[in-house]
Amino acid sequence: MHQIRRSVCPLDCPDTCSILATVEDGRVVRLEGDPEHPFTGGFLCGKVARYQERVYSPDRLLYPMKRVGPKGTGRFERITWDEALDTVARRLASVAREHGGEAILPYSYGGTMGIVQRNAGHRFFHRLGASRLARTICSPAATVGFNATVGASLGPDPESIVHSDYIVIWGQNTAVVNLHLMPFIKKARRAGARLVAVDPYRNDTARLADLHLCVRPGTDAALALGIMHVLVAEGRIDRDYVAEHTLGFEALSARVLAEYPVERAAAITGIPEEKIRSVAREYGAARAPFIRIGDGLSRHSNGGMAVRTIACLPGLVGAFAKKGGGALQSTGGSFAINEAYVRMPELSPPTREINMVKLGETLAPDFRPPVKGLFVYHSNPAAVAPDQARVLCGLRREDLFTVVHEQVHTDTVDYADVALPATTFLEHGDLYKSYGHLYIQKAEPAIAPVGEAKSNLEVFQLLAARMGFDEECFGETLESQIRGVLDVSAPALEGIGHSQVADCRPHRLRVEAETYARGFPTPSGRLEFYCESLARQGFDPLPRYEPCFQEEEAGQGALHLLAPPSKHFLNSTFGAVPSLVARAGRPTLLIHPDDARARGVRDGGTVRAHNSRGECRLTAVVTEDTPPGVVVAASVWWPKHSPEGKGINHLVSQKTTDFGGGSTFHCNLVYVSAGSGRGDS
Ligand SMILES: Nc1nc2c(c(=O)[nH]1)N[C@H]1C(S)=C(S)[C@@H](COP(=O)(O)OP(=O)(O)OC[C@H]3O[C@@H](n4cnc5c(=O)[nH]c(N)nc54)[C@H](O)[C@@H]3O)O[C@H]1N2
Ligand SMILES: Nc1nc2c(c(=O)[nH]1)N[C@H]1C(S)=C(S)[C@@H](COP(=O)(O)OP(=O)(O)OC[C@H]3O[C@@H](n4cnc5c(=O)[nH]c(N)nc54)[C@H](O)[C@@H]3O)O[C@H]1N2
Ligand SMILES: [Mo]
């Protein structure tokens, strides 16, 4: 007997697919894309289509465990939930008593994007008076930068891209990370749209494009300013739109005319002048140009300003007012739901905030006041966080009590004092929004929890009870929290309440495709070429280009490392699926033939990549897909699946972005040498 259950992909990906799960005898045997969901369009990516392998993986944590070997060795003994919860509650209470609540750090990110489960720990840690975590590892620079120009990440509706005649994918490997947008792009191209990709290497998406602008990493703002120069100098501006809907055009045009002639933009970006001119002319002439801005390009020290600058382009040509035009960074701002309802920030005393990008620094023995208790859930910092050597060093500290609530036996679990088994999305319910489309959907569990796994919500409810937190909110059901999240009066949510989402089908927000048609949610109500609020924070109020590195940082032979997502993984989530790990092969480094030759590196050989933070070994792929000076390592491998247990994030720094304190995964210099084994350099 089999049944089809509706579900939603909980992974941190813009596509948020609607899923049909086939269940036989209580086991999930097949997952398929929901044909009724307009964005999912009836298919899943190659990763999630195999998610059932992950549910029943030999790496799955099935019961609570306590550590019996040295930290990092992953040796555990089974314990009961009662013993686990008692231990965790007792240890957290003693840390709080001896060192203060701030000595406890919750660390969580995007393992599940479900609104209730993702936020279920917040009220607990707020009540505990723990340090607050600034969840910055992904895209704050892009969000802050985009919003400085247009006010909020509202859209346009990604589905409207079918009406565009000129599509620019800027800093995103869409065919890998936003796969379900591709059918819409294909449709637009069938109707004649041109596709341009702006990326420092020829990724899977650039390969499909009509034109690939191979920009030097971290120089996108200069490219956008060069394009603006052409638009202004040649009068390819929508004057009426500019006058009515934008702020600061005179100042912007003075700057681009004086400071960003095409020759300068070409010298900075490495893109020939003629290409910059022709792209600017095509962009200016297009009926409805659409720019898909990836968060990838924002993971540089100058990334926020780069995104803000690109977001100005549609303002010059009036593209936001055209069906199929505009610039899309995220649709997240359109979901007017009340997530604070789950988080309850009002429970927190004024505690310090710790930037998650700086976990390595935070766990160092000299950090004051110290962190003595760490609670990791739905994140895998031992694999995904920057400056891996520092992170692992911190996790090894004997005086740090570490709890890890996880589905599978990750590297982070290896460092836990107590490991708790977590349910997957097929085993718990939740409400899901998206950052890449405009549908909201609820999901019920498709199967019973595997082993003794418990959801985030259950774990924090049980712990709250053990800690003696007797406020009613610590017993609040999932249903009641979903009701609270949706209980807002916003036009986008009209007719989408608790009882409507109960059908577990996708519900489209009540928003228009041209999301800024009624004005921009900026302080001036206009698209801000000139942004006063940036000026108040000490930034340049106008778009500008600032180099990522100082000259002296780039020593001889340094190469620019990009560490973007792999097609076979989603962050580190699929390290627990052997068939996907096998497909991904081994950790590789794309390197240009000239750079390979100069270093005696051969295709398929082992290379050592290193910098002041550490080193790791990878297999060289010698290819012209990457230009001279740039190397690319698809991520994120589990360190324990990497040579010598060292992942690429050994080479990534804890440096943060200009806006928002974000991560800089693509803004690192490395040295590469040929080498086969340990010890050579
Ligand atoms: N298969 C798969 N899908 C995923 C993920 C995954 O790991 N695997 N991760 C998910 C998550 S958490 C996120 S946040 C999103 C990520 O999605 P986005 O951040 O929107 O896009 P990415 O493709 O990660 O961005 C990486 C691309 O940016 C390019 N890039 C790097 N530096 C620059 C630059 O200076 N200029 C320009 N123009 N481009 C640059 C890289 O070369 C690469 O092609 O994807 C989600 N989807
Ligand atoms: N080199 C490099 N590093 C990167 C990136 C990159 O592009 N390159 N991308 C960065 C980005 S954009 C991001 S967003 C981060 C993402 O980093 P993370 O959010 O840490 O993402 P994952 O590595 O997928 O880890 C999520 C973990 O949560 C667990 N999990 C899933 N659901 C649940 C649940 O309901 N409860 C509990 N308790 N656990 C659950 C999963 O088993 C998984 O191990 O990585 C960053 N790291
Ligand atoms: Mo992310």
* Beta carbons of 225 and 254 less than 8 angstroms apart: no
Ligand 3 centre distance from Cα of residue 409 (Å): 21
What is the CATH classification number for the domain harbouring 383? 3.40.50.740
Residues with beta carbon inside 6 Å of ligand 1? 12-13, 110, 138-139, 170-173, 176-177, 198-201, 203, 215, 217-218, 220, 294-297, 300, 562, 564-565, 567, 569-571, 666
Ligand 2 centre distance from Cα of residue 340 (Å): 22
- 176 and 212 fall within a common domain: yes
Chain segment 545-560, per-residue pLDDT in tens: 999 987 667 778 999 9
Q: Which residues in 24-38 are b (16+ Cβ under 10 Å) and which e?
A: eeeebeebbbbeebb
Instruction: Determine the length of the chain.
Output: 681
Q: What is the 3-state secondary structure (H, E, C) of 128-170?
A: HCCCEEECCCCCHHHHHHHHHHHCCCCCCCHHHHHHCCEEEEE
Strands 588-591 and 507-508: unpaired
Nearest-atom number in ligand 1 for the CA of 573 is: 7
What is the CATH classification number for the domain harbouring 191? 3.40.228.10
User: Which ligand neighbours the alpha carbon of 10 most closely?
Assistant: 2
Of 351, 418, 341, which Cα lies nearest the Cα of 128?
351
* Predicted local confidence at residue 676, as pLDDT: 60
Of 97, 88, 126, which Cα lies nearest the Cα of 374?
88
**Does any ligand 2 atom lie closer than 6 A to the CB of residue 435?**
no
- 206 and 162 fall within a common domain: yes
Ligand 1 centre distance from Cα of residue 298 (Å): 9
* Predicted local confidence at residue 552, as pLDDT: 63
Nearest-atom number in ligand 1 for the CA of 12 is: 12
Extract the tokens encoding 660.
């928002």
Ligand 2 centre distance from Cα of residue 413 (Å): 13
Instruction: Count the Cβ atoms, other than its own, within 10 Å of residue 386.
Output: 27
* Beta carbons of 262 and 222 less than 8 angstroms apart: no
CA 263 vs CA 122, 266, 270, 618: distances in Å: 51, 5, 10, 37
Say if 551 falls within a structural domain: no
Extract the tokens encoding 292.
């898909």
> What are the DSSP calls for 213-277, one per residue?
E-PPTT-HHHHHHHHHHHHHHTT-S-HHHHHHHEE-HHHHHHHHHHH--HHHHHHHH---HHHHH
Ligand 2 centre distance from Cα of residue 386 (Å): 13
User: Which ligand neighbours the alpha carbon of 460 most closely?
Assistant: 2
Say if 547 falls within a structural domain: no
593: helix, strand or coil: helix
Identity of the residue numbered 390: R
- 306 and 436 fall within a common domain: no
Local confidence band at 282 (pLDDT 50, 70, 90 cut-offs): very high
* Beta carbons of 142 and 533 less than 8 angstroms apart: no
512 or 557, which is more confident: 557
Chain segment 376-388, per-residue pLDDT in tens: 999 999 999 999 9
Q: What is the domain extent for residue 308?
A: 141-329+514-536
Of 469, 489, 508, the position where a domain reaches its end is 508
Chain segment 147-191, per-residue pLDDT in tens: 999 999 998 999 999 999 999 999 999 999 999 999 999 999 999
Q: Please name the residues in contact with 123: beta carbons below 8 A apart, sequence gap of 6 or more.
A: 342, 343, 344, 347, 460, 473, 474
Extract the tokens encoding 5.
């259950």
Ligand 3 centre distance from Cα of residue 478 (Å): 25
Looking at residues 53-59, what average pLDDT do you find?
A: 97
- 98 and 168 fall within a common domain: no
- 495 and 526 fall within a common domain: no
Percent of the chain with pLDDT over 70: 99
* Beta carbons of 606 and 622 less than 8 angstroms apart: no
Ligand 3 centre distance from Cα of residue 230 (Å): 34
Ligand 3 centre distance from Cα of residue 122 (Å): 20
| Minimum CA distance residue for ligand 2 atom 14 | 138
Chain segment 454-478, per-residue pLDDT in tens: 999 999 999 999 999 999 999 999 9
Number of separate domains in the chain: 3
Of 515, 429, 439, which Cα lies nearest the Cα of 477?
429
Chain segment 614-627, per-residue pLDDT in tens: 999 999 999 999 99
**Does any ligand 2 atom lie closer than 6 A to the CB of residue 653?**
no
**Does any ligand 2 atom lie closer than 6 A to the CB of residue 377?**
yes
Nearest-atom number in ligand 2 for the CA of 410 is: 44
- 123 and 150 fall within a common domain: no
- Longest CA–CA separation in the chain, Å: 73
User: Which ligand neighbours the alpha carbon of 176 most closely?
Assistant: 1
User: Which ligand neighbours the alpha carbon of 198 most closely?
Assistant: 1
Taking only Cα atoms into account, the Rg of the chain, rounded to an integer number of angstroms, comes to 25
What mean pLDDT is reported for the chain?
96
| Ligand 2 mutation pick, 380, 402, 568, max ligand atoms within 8 A of CB | 380
Looking at residues 330-339, what average pLDDT do you find?
A: 95
| Whole-angstrom distance, CA of residue 198 vs CA of residue 219 | 11
Name the pTM for this structure.
0.97
* Beta carbons of 295 and 659 less than 8 angstroms apart: no
**Does any ligand 2 atom lie closer than 6 A to the CB of residue 432?**
no
* Predicted local confidence at residue 679, as pLDDT: 40
- 163 and 85 fall within a common domain: no
* Beta carbons of 672 and 605 less than 8 angstroms apart: no
Nearest-atom number in ligand 1 for the CA of 139 is: 14
Say if 299 falls within a structural domain: yes
CA 668 vs CA 251, 394, 404: distances in Å: 33, 22, 29
Residue 369, preceding bond cis, omega within 30 degrees?
Answer: yes
- 258 and 117 fall within a common domain: no
Local confidence band at 255 (pLDDT 50, 70, 90 cut-offs): very high
Say if 588 falls within a structural domain: yes
Of 152, 531, 473, 554, which Cα lies nearest the Cα of 327?
152
Ligand 2 centre distance from Cα of residue 118 (Å): 12
Q: Outline where 56-99 has alpha helix (H).
A: 81-99
| Whole-angstrom distance, CA of residue 631 vs CA of residue 633 | 7
Looking at residues 528-534, what average pLDDT do you find?
A: 97
| Whole-angstrom distance, CA of residue 4 vs CA of residue 475 | 31
* Beta carbons of 161 and 286 less than 8 angstroms apart: no
Of 607, 633, 627, 610, which Cα lies nearest the Cα of 619?
607
Helix (H) or strand (E) holding 479: helix 478-486
Say if 35 falls within a structural domain: no
| Whole-angstrom distance, CA of residue 62 vs CA of residue 357 | 30
| Ligand 2 mutation pick, 571, 618, 640, max ligand atoms within 8 A of CB | 571
Q: What is the 3-state secondary structure (H, E, C) of 347-398?
A: HCCCCCEEEHHHHHHHCCCCCCCCCCEEEEECCCHHHHCCCHHHHHHHHCCC
Question: Is the pLDDT assigned to residue 681 strictly greater than 50?
Answer: no
Question: Is the pLDDT assigned to residue 583 strictly greater than 80?
Answer: yes
Q: Which residue has the tokens 């589990």?
A: 638
Which residues are 106's β-sheet partners?
Answer: 375
What is the CATH classification number for the domain harbouring 657? 2.40.40.20
Ligand 3 centre distance from Cα of residue 571 (Å): 8
- 419 and 487 fall within a common domain: yes
Instruction: Count the Cβ atoms, other than its own, within 10 Å of residue 416.
Output: 24
DSSP state of 303: H
| Whole-angstrom distance, CA of residue 424 vs CA of residue 52 | 10
Cα of first residue to Cα of last residue in the chain, in angstroms, is 60
| Whole-angstrom distance, CA of residue 358 vs CA of residue 420 | 25
Ligand 1 centre distance from Cα of residue 171 (Å): 7
| Minimum CA distance residue for ligand 2 atom 6 | 564
Looking at residues 240-265, what average pLDDT do you find?
A: 98
Say if 39 falls within a structural domain: no
Q: Which residue has the tokens 């005179």?
A: 250
Identity of the residue numbered 43: F
**Does any ligand 2 atom lie closer than 6 A to the CB of residue 408?**
yes
Ramachandran sector of residue 415 (left: φ over 0; alpha: ψ -120 to 50; beta: rest): alpha
**Does any ligand 2 atom lie closer than 6 A to the CB of residue 108?**
no
| Whole-angstrom distance, CA of residue 447 vs CA of residue 308 | 44
- 115 and 233 fall within a common domain: no
* Beta carbons of 89 and 463 less than 8 angstroms apart: yes
Ligand 3 centre distance from Cα of residue 498 (Å): 28
User: Which ligand neighbours the alpha carbon of 651 most closely?
Assistant: 2
| Whole-angstrom distance, CA of residue 411 vs CA of residue 430 | 27
| Whole-angstrom distance, CA of residue 190 vs CA of residue 656 | 41
DSSP state of 336: -
Say if 5 falls within a structural domain: no
Say if 14 falls within a structural domain: no
| Whole-angstrom distance, CA of residue 158 vs CA of residue 334 | 12
Question: Is the pLDDT assigned to residue 310 strictly greater than 90?
Answer: yes
Chain segment 114-128, per-residue pLDDT in tens: 999 999 999 999 999
**Does any ligand 2 atom lie closer than 6 A to the CB of residue 380?**
yes
* Burial (Cβ within 10 Å: 0-12, 13-18, ≥19) of residue 677: exposed
- 151 and 120 fall within a common domain: no
- 133 and 161 fall within a common domain: no
DSSP state of 671: E
**Does any ligand 2 atom lie closer than 6 A to the CB of residue 456?**
yes
Local confidence band at 49 (pLDDT 50, 70, 90 cut-offs): very high
